[in-house]
Amino acid sequence: GSAMMENTVIVAMVARRLLLEEPELSTQSASVTDGDQIELYVSSSIKNAFSRILHDVETISDTTHEHPLAVLAEQAKKLLNKDKTMFMPILSQRHPYATVVSVSLLHKLYGNKLKPFLNSAEHLSEDVVSVFPAADSFEQYVMELIMSACEEETAEAYCRKLTLYKVPSDSLNGVVLVFIILPSASS
């Protein structure tokens, strides 16, 4: 797994450098650095993985009877965990902020799907009880990964660049209240 990934990155970087030696190609691509190339790989990979997750979410949601956005948050978290353990140790050798690029993009992609739901959530429904904590948990995980990938000042700067989901904290408190009231109401 990871040895093959490392070899693939090396081959891609060497191929890019060889292509830059070609006179007709060097003027077009000379401004693209190794770091830029890694960012392109990471972005492309995350976008493709997110598309695959989106494709699977409906099926998982139907099976588990969870809201698709709650399932998507959990699947995105799993993707970041896999990314963190398998790919980022290798890519971070070539680009120190590869992890930040990855998690920031996935945070944005999930946020784009979450935003319409947040804008339409007016009261504490079963969907809100399911989605808000999952979205908040995913966002907290993203922040943790950024904080662990960089020095504190750099991490804080990257975290400020994120467009936070703004999941209402009073709704999260309401979720706890619902879980406390519902079981006792059925007794």
Question: Rounded CA gap, 115 and 163, in Å?
Answer: 11
The pLDDT tens digits of the residues spanning 34-45 come to 788 888 889 999
The pLDDT tens digits of the residues spanning 48-106 come to 999 999 999 989 998 999 999 999 999 999 999 999 998 888 888 888 899 999 999 99
Question: Rounded CA gap, 58 and 65, in Å?
Answer: 10
- How far is CA 95 from each of CA 82, 88, 157, rounded to the nearest angstrom? 18, 9, 18
Question: Rounded CA gap, 104 and 119, in Å?
Answer: 22
Q: How many beta carbons lie within 10 A of that of residue 83, not counting itself?
A: 21
